[in-house]
Amino acid sequence: MTSHHDSPRFRIAFIGLGKVGTAMAVLLRRSGYPLAALYDVSPEAREQAASATGAPVASGAAEAAARGDAVFITTGDDRILPVCREIADGQGFRKGQMAVHMSGAGGLDLLQPAREAGADRASIHPMQAFADSAMALQNLPGSVFGVTADEPARDRAVRIVEDLGGSPFFIAEENKALYHAAACMASNYLVTLIRQVETVYESIGMDREAARKAFWPLVRGTLRNIEIMGTVPALTGPVARGDAGTIGKHLQAFREKLPQLLETYSILGKQTVELAREKGSLSPEQAERLHSIFSGGKP
């Protein structure tokens, strides 16, 4: 990967070397950014990141931060503020430096100790899922990054995102929780939903691998339709058709065989009725009947 800009002017330190922090360090190094120092409380994490990047390892968080012009605190969300405070107490921040975290829901307040020490703050959050370090390396380039930053740090934050091959999207501080909740729904809850689909197929005698092979072309085709057409036109199936009899059979089967999934199916069904109304495929009477069935009424 090559940088989108002429020789980067700032050195980057990373504190917190999990899969995302390590992948970011590797990718920014490839983009031409000098890595000033790395640090993690785990010796194993330090060793793995140093091996992957060739960057020097500091003896502590404050020492690592002091070496960088930009300081990425890529710990777990709950550790960002304590680590930032530890760095500030150890004189790791200075005026003109940039402190960065990658939390989707966390605001710039997590970096307040850096601000008080004169550093500018930014949050850079990739809209991407990272099951492991290899996937993080593969998926980060080309992602959209949610960016929230103090005004003096905005240009540098955008430059980092663009040098990663990403696209910046600015998020107001007060909207970060909703922004991140939507990302969780798009990714984490999709995984949960697919796991429930596997559970249904396992209950009728298919093993998990065979089930995935059976329904995955349907999932892939649906995602492709959404990507090309948008959500509303992509809706198909018995709810969109107003097929109350079929929905009644589904609900009865869940009551008898998989009652633990009945609530999920019913709640999603009611939301799908509203989507079908938006599409224009249901009359008001059909929509009312389906709502009644999903609420426990008879088909």
pLDDT 10s digits, 210-238:
999 999 999 999 999 999 999 999 999 99
pLDDT at 296: 87
The position carrying tokens 């304590």 is 82
pLDDT for position 134: 78
Q: Show me where the domains of the chain are located.
A: 12-174, 188-294
Torsion, CA 153, CA 158, CA 161, CA 163, rounded to 10: -110
pLDDT in tens, 78-131: 999 999 999 999 999 999 999 999 999 999 999 999 999 999 999 999 998 877
Across-strand partners of 145? 126, 168
The one-letter amino acid code at 287 reads A
Q: pTM for this one?
A: 0.85
Average confidence (pLDDT) over 49-67: 96
Q: Between helices 284-294 and 262-279, what is the axis angle to 10°?
A: 170
What CA–CA distance (Å, rounded) separates 268 from 258?
Answer: 16
Q: Coil, helix or strand for 248?
A: helix
Place of tokens 């197929």: 201
Res. 1: pLDDT tops 80: no
**In CATH, 12-174 is 3.40.50.720:** yes
